Amino acid sequence: MTEHGRTVITGALPAHVARIAAALTVLSNDEQLVLGRICRKLGIALAPA
């Protein structure tokens, strides 16, 4: 990644994470745990072999 790319990502990432965190507040703790398990399962399935 170029230095410019790092700068762009570093600038955008905190706001992106904040939006995701805000969106997840509508889920209960149990729902967040289920979502986490589903995301991990998808991540494993999509990982290169």
Q: Are 44 and 36 in contact (CB under 8 A)?
A: no
Residue 11 to residue 48: CA distance in whole angstroms:
29
Q: List pLDDT tens digits, range 4-23.
A: 999 999 999 999 999 999 99
pLDDT of residue 24: 96
* pLDDT tens per residue, range 19-43: 999 999 999 999 999 999 999 999 9
Residue 31 is part of which domain span?
3-46
pTM: 0.67
Count of CB atoms within 10 A of residue 32's CB?
13
Give the model's pLDDT for residue 49. Answer: 81
DSSP letter, residue 25: T
- CB within 8 A of 24, min separation 6: which ones? 32, 35
Amino acid (one-letter) located at 32: Q
Number of domains in the chain: 1
